[in-house]
Amino acid sequence: MLLMIGFVVVLACVFGSFVASGGMIGPLLMSMPFELLTILGAAIGTFLMANSVAEVKHLPSALKAAAKGPRFARQDYIDLLGLLFQIVRLAHSKGVMALENHIEEPATSSIFGTFPKIRDDAQTCSFICDYMRLVSMNADDPFQLDEVMSRELKKNLQEEMHLPHALQTLSDALPALGIVAAVLGVIKTMASISKPPIVLGEMIAGALVGTFLGVLLAYGIVAPLAARLSSVIGQDAAYHNLIRSIVVAHLQGNAPQISVEIGRKEIPTAFMPSFQEVETALSKTALG
């Protein structure tokens, strides 16, 4: 929502102030379609050259994520804490082998069944099961597992951050593409140098629209979009990092409640539930 509000505010203030100060919107609108065709066409072409097919296909979903905001809300973190509490409590009381049926068949697991949203999230479910499976295979050195999990999370984050970086690169290129459009307009104007000054003035104004649009698109739209997407990806990455924190804390010999509390402290402040909220949720989980 804020993304769309910001977009409207940018356009309203830029074009509104231009009209309010006495600017003629007619020549601007007349030249804009051709300048946009040059700038956006070149921008799309450079974006396609710089990125793979998979990354280009991922762009619509990434833009949707930037518009919607973080994928995981406060309740999602509480649910994840509850699921991980059940897992580490079972491993703590009956041994890690008691988890075998749950991590091998999460679709039929009573633990995962309590949290269907997590069970149906393939990436999250797979991440939990893969590392608990490693623990069951005696890969129970907390420092080694912490390093392995951190490397995978870092790899995943780098892959997810490719599109924000690509959009930022595109933003850096847009002012130059605007100059390209403006130069083409100047060439067109110089080819008509014999025409009356009033005609040349309109042609020069049209050429300058290219520079204007290039800068506006770069710093008023694409750069903020890249920053927003980067922020959303970073916040969502904390969700899977919570799994690492609790699994490692469990392997370090902490009680299930302590492991969960250690994980809770790593949740982003905007989504972090209070100690009492988590205690209430865990109590309901224990009763269930």
pLDDT tens for each residue of 136-152: 888 888 999 999 999 99
Residue 165 pLDDT class (50, 70, 90 cuts)? very high
Distance in angstroms (rounded) separating the CA atoms of residues 45 and 55:
14
* Statement: residue 190 has pLDDT above 70: yes
Q: What is the pLDDT of residue 31?
A: 81
Region 145-165: what's the mean pLDDT? Answer: 94
Structure tokens, 280: 């209430």
Q: For residue range 232-268, list pLDDT tens digits in order.
A: 999 999 999 999 999 999 999 999 999 999 999 999 9
| Predicted pLDDT of residue 89 | 92
Dihedral sign of CA atoms 251, 254, 259, 263 in order: negative
Name the amino acid, one letter, at 110: S
Across the chain, mean pLDDT equals 90
> Are the C-beta atoms of 128 and 243 separated by less than 8 Å?
yes
Residues sharing a CB contact under 8 Å with residue 272, sequence separation 6 or more, in sequence order: 74, 77, 264, 265
CB 70 within 8 A of CB 235: yes
Q: At what angle do helices 223-251 and 53-68 cross, to 10 degrees?
A: 90
CB 176 within 8 A of CB 183: no
Question: Looking at residue 184, what is its pLDDT?
Answer: 87
What's the average model confidence in pLDDT over 16-44?
85
The angle that helices 162-190 and 142-160 make with each other, rounded to 10 degrees, is 20
Residue 288 has pLDDT above 60, yes or no: no
Binned at pLDDT 50, 70 and 90, residue 286 comes out as low
> Hey, how many other C-beta atoms are within 10 angstroms of the C-beta on 37?
11
- The amino acid at residue 210 is G
Q: Average pLDDT in the 124-145 region?
A: 91
